[in-house]
Structure 1
Amino acid sequence: MKKLALHWKIIIGLVLGIIWALLSSKLGWSEFTIDWIAPFGTIFINLLKLIAVPLVLVSIITGVANIGDPSSLGRMGGKTLLAYLLTTLFAVGLGLLMVNTIKPGKLIDEQSRIDNRISYEIWASSEGHPPKDGINYLQDPAFFERAQKITDLSKGDLKDASVAEKMETAEKTKETSPLQPLVDIVPENFFNSLSNNGLMLQIIFFGIFFGVCLLLIPNEKSKPVTDFMDSAMEVFLKMVDLVMQAAPFFVFALLAGVVSKMAGDNIGKVYEIFKGLSWYSLTVFLGLMLMIFVIYPLLMKLFVKIIPYKGFFKAMAPAQTLAFSTSSSAATLPVTMECVEENLGVNKKITSFVLPIGATVNMDGTCLYQAVAVVFLAQLHMIDLTMGQQLTIVLTATLASIGSAAVPSAGLVMLIIVLESVGLNPAWIAIIFPVDRILDMFRTVVNVTGDATVCTIIAKGEGMLNYKPQENPSETFDLES
């Protein structure tokens, strides 16, 4: 029998996890599921968190250091990085606009959201930091009975936790200065940042700073370090690969545990969970389609002009198809380069420089999805993120995209970073896991299309674009290779 592909195994695992959660909810086995199956899902989250911090650090350092000699980087390098940064910021902004307009997390029943909110506040208390919006449901005695049903805490424990959190919120608010977010990005002790996942922005800052400094020292001095970082990067990517090989089993436990915790023995709540998930998927999908069919063609129209709308998509069809099927912009890179060179007429000097950088640092689809996912999960738990917290999502998602490996589902690892940057529970990725794989395929198409768009714009600006329409570009590619 032909070996089953990993993504099909993961899909089977998540379907079985949901079926098990439904059965355990109907038969009253939720407690067994939570005690004996859900812990394996926690192990999966812990493994991803274990890999996330060093992966981001090493990826950012290698991504920046591999740009090349800054003296020879010149105008083209600056324009390339600026273009990728702007499209990424725009993608995150579009994601936030979509999720704040549609509000998918608010489209499930209020009782389920109240239960989610209480669970969030209990988690926040156990982690030692207050709810992000300053509101505390555990202060209201009306919710104590409900809170006791979903936790082992007594009323006294709940009351003490709520008061302590409220006092901490007031103290932090009083001491915060307007520039405190900027101060918080620069670490005073890098090793402390490594041991605290909530300080991810500091790790990203250090990675960029370290990589820039590698560019500024002689090559004979920097080469041993960059070689080490490249090797370390391969090790961490292998870790991701090994964890993902066991993902089908972990996903079963993760889905079974999360759905059981959210639904309890009330099977009706499962319907509400997946109703919200469908609205979330639609929000992400609409955002991604706007990027592919409106934003990128508009940029081409403004800055390139000579390539028609249909001509661009005909030229990129082989790369987009491969990106959709593999969910990997790195695996698609050779075909992307051939499409851009042969069909769009971009000079090889441009593609060999711009596209590999894009496969590393340009993750427009991933960033858009992260922005929607974080705000959706906050809405699902009745958390109103402030504009400042949403700007933190923009900054973290943009910077984390530099370290987002161009392999399937790497965005999930980065989503953990973004959730932790605004003080939300990283285990919530389990809620959106059922639809992640199909959305990941569309995200990769956005990433590859964005790389090609920026590459073509840079080529036009450098006078290295020679577009000649072809009758059927897809015939020039062997997609089996």
Structure 2
Amino acid sequence: MKFLRSLSVQVLIALAAGLAVGAVAAAYGGDPARQAIEGFEALGGLWLNALRMTVVPLIFAVLVTGIAQVSDAAATGRLAMRAVLWFVGLLLVSAVTAVLLVNGMLAVWPVGEAAAAALRAGAQAPPADIATAPDFVAWVKSLAPANPIKAAAEDAILPVVVFAVFTGFALTRLPDARGRTLLDVFQAMGEAMIVIVRWVLLAAPIGVFALGLGVGLRAGVGAAGILGQYIVVASFTGLVIAIVAYVLAVTVGRVPLGRWAQATSPVLATAFATQSSLACLPAMVERSRDDLGVPQRIANLVLPLAVAVFRMTSPAVNLAVCIFVAHVYGLQPSLLQYTGAVFVALAVSVGSVGLPGQVSFIVSVAPICIALGLPIDLLPILLAVEVAPDIFRTLGNVSGDMAVTAILAKGETEAEPATQA
């Protein structure tokens, strides 16, 4: 964890340095400095391609193993099945909330055209056919890839995700030995891709510095303002999801607001300090049991399961990132593209749980961008400033975990008399 936090700081410093050097070169360096920076930008492109090459195999591997894990959990009992259903429902609420909220925010507080144009100039322009959305018939046909390998090669991410989801569920229906063997293969492939991503991320300060040079050269100091707007939008989205979890706990879980605040405050403090749901697990179990009166058998099952497969803020904040990118490029995805992106966001939120922060950002956001027809070249720049939104991601995640636990505890308590009768 210390390594990841130090890497985040290094990448943030590299971005700031790149923007500053690029802006100074644009103002005072003349053509020689501009040409030197444009040559150095190639390193940033190489680094970005090294990240991009892992996205499809990594997302396929983690989705297959993640879906199999959820399926196994749901089969362990009625309480686990109810928990999984709540997880899926709340992830859908999270995704739809983000689409409405972020588009509404950016309608009221639009991305500055001059800053967006400069930022676009510092990154790759989207392909010419990006704005062409498929019609409904073509979209439905594309859900089942006739050739999954071709779909992967063409970055048709939604068919790849659909294929991975079906593969994950199918593996759980095979005899134990055969299914376990294949799951081990996919798990090993996912772990190998994570190792590669870790290697690539070791060079993140250099890669982000190179990309930042280009952005600074073309966007100047205006890039800082637009990045600040992104931080506010992404962080506020995570905060809203945390508030939704609070509302659910009070209204559906019937937990008094003061009692809920008392139970969650130490957990939220840990989440703020660590940015890790796993690190908050002991505090969540203790506070749910002692302050909320959740039976230990429920807390001991639901909370570890939630940490393992449930991130309530993941679809919301990941979609917020992608919608912000769409507004920077001046693109308006169609309803069908948003539908596909929501499905991808739900799937990858399950598959990417447990991945390191920098890895999960790329593997979660890049497929959604591709599903919306957006380039992913801005993602390393946004990754550099992910430190602040990541705090709100964790606050929302632990709030969601405890809210579902309180709701299920209430449901189980109400069901016990009927069961005994």
Please, what TM-score do these two structures have when normalized by structure 1?
0.76
2:178 to 206, 216, 221: 221
CA distance in 1, matches of 2:122, 2:19: 20
For 2:389, the equivalent position in structure 1 comes to 439
**Distance in 1, Cα, partners of 2:253 & 2:76:** 23
C-alpha displacement at 1:116, in angstroms? 6.4
Answer yes or no: is 1:418 the counterpart of 2:368: yes
State the distance in 1 between where 2:278 and 2:302 align: 13
What residue ranges of structure 2 are gaps of 5+ in the alignment?
416-421
CA distance in 1: counterparts of 2:114 and 2:74, whole angstroms:
60
SS in 2 for 1:55: helix
Task: Output one character per residue of 1:8-46: Cα deviation in whole Å (capped at 9) or x when no partner.
Answer: 22222222222222222222333321221x222222322
1:298 alignment partner in structure 2: 247
**Separation of aligned partners in 1, 2:195 and 2:205:** 17
Match of 1:195 among 142, 146, 153: 153
Cα gap change, 1:342 to 1:202, in 2 (>3 Å): farther
Displacement of 1:418: 0.9
Query: 1:443 deviation in Å?
Result: 1.0
Q: Distance in 2 between matches of 1:368 and 1:279?
A: 17
- In structure 1, the residue matched to 2:343 is 395
1:207 to 160, 164, 168: 164
Cα deviation for residue 436 of structure 1 reads 1.4
What's the offset of the Cα at 1:124?
0.6
Deviations 1:280-304 (A, max 9, x none): 3222222222222x31121112222
Distance 1:96 1:392 in 2: 12
Following TM superposition, by how much is the alpha carbon of 1:232 offset from its aligned partner in structure 2, in angstroms?
A: 3.4
Please say which of residues 313-322 and 116-125 is displaced more in the overlay.
Answer: 116-125
Q: CA deviation at 1:109?
A: 4.5
For structure 1, the residue ranges without an aligned partner over 5 or more in a row are 133-168, 466-481
Q: What's the counterpart of residue 241 of structure 1?
A: 198
Q: Hey, what does 2:216 align to over in structure 1?
A: 259
For residue 66 of structure 1, give the secondary structure of its aligned residue in structure 2: helix
Shift of 1:70: 7.7
Q: Contact 1:105–1:276 (CA<8 Å) still a contact in 2? A: no
SS in 1 for 2:206: helix
> How far does residue 426 in structure 1 lie from its aligned partner after superposition?
0.8
Residue 463 of structure 1 corresponds to 413
User: Any conservation in 1 of the 2:231–2:388 contact (CA below 8 Å)?
Assistant: no
Q: Look up the equivalent residue of 1:90 and give its one-letter code.
A: V
Once superposed, what is the RMSD of the aligned Cα atoms? 3.1
Letter in 1 for 2:15: L
- In the alignment, what sits opposite 2:326? 378
From the superposition, tell whether residues 24 and 276 of structure 1 become closer, same or farther in structure 2 (CA, over 3 Å): same
Query: CA contact under 8 A between 1:104 and 1:283: conserved in structure 2?
Result: no
Q: What secondary structure does 1:426 align onto?
A: coil
Q: Relative to 1, partners in 2 of residues 1:67 and 1:88: Cα closer, same or farther, differing over 3 Å? A: closer
- Superimposed CA distance per residue, residues 164-204 of structure 1 (whole angstroms, 9 cap, x where no aligned partner): xxxxx5xx86xx4x34323212111222223232x211222
Q: Give the letter aligned to residue 98 of structure 2.
A: G
| Alpha-carbon shift at residue 417 of structure 1 (Å) | 1.0
CA contact (8 A) 2:267 2:283 kept: yes
Structure 2 counterpart of 1:77, from 52, 77, 80 = 80
Is structure 2 residue 316 aligned with structure 1 residue 368? Answer: yes
Number of aligned positions between the proteins: 409
Counterpart pick for 2:141 among 178, 183, 191: 183
Distance 1:91 1:101 in 2: 15
Identity of counterpart residues, as a percentage?
24
Q: Distance in 1 between matches of 2:7 and 2:122?
A: 33
Task: State the shift of 1:52 in Å.
Answer: 1.9
User: Match for residue 38 of structure 2?
Assistant: 34
Aligned to 1:472: none
Partner of residue 350, structure 1: 298
Which AA in structure 1 matches 2:162?
Answer: F
* Aligned pair partner of 2:229 in 266, 276, 279: 279
Contact 2:310-2:350 at 8 Å conserved across structures? yes
- Residue 342 of structure 1: CA displacement? 4.3
Name the CA distance, whole Å, in 2 between partners of 1:357 and 1:131.
Answer: 39
Does the C-alpha gap of structure 1 residues 182 and 295 become closer, same or farther in structure 2, counting only changes over 3 Å? same
Aligned position for 1:86: 89
- Contact map agreement 1:55 1:403 (CA 8 A) in 2: no
Superimposed CA distance per residue, residues 235-281 of structure 1 (whole angstroms, 9 cap, x where no aligned partner):
33333333333322222222222332x42xxx4xx32x332332332
Assess if the C-alpha contact under 8 Å between 2:250 and 2:260 holds in 1. Answer: no
Counterpart amino acid of 1:372? A
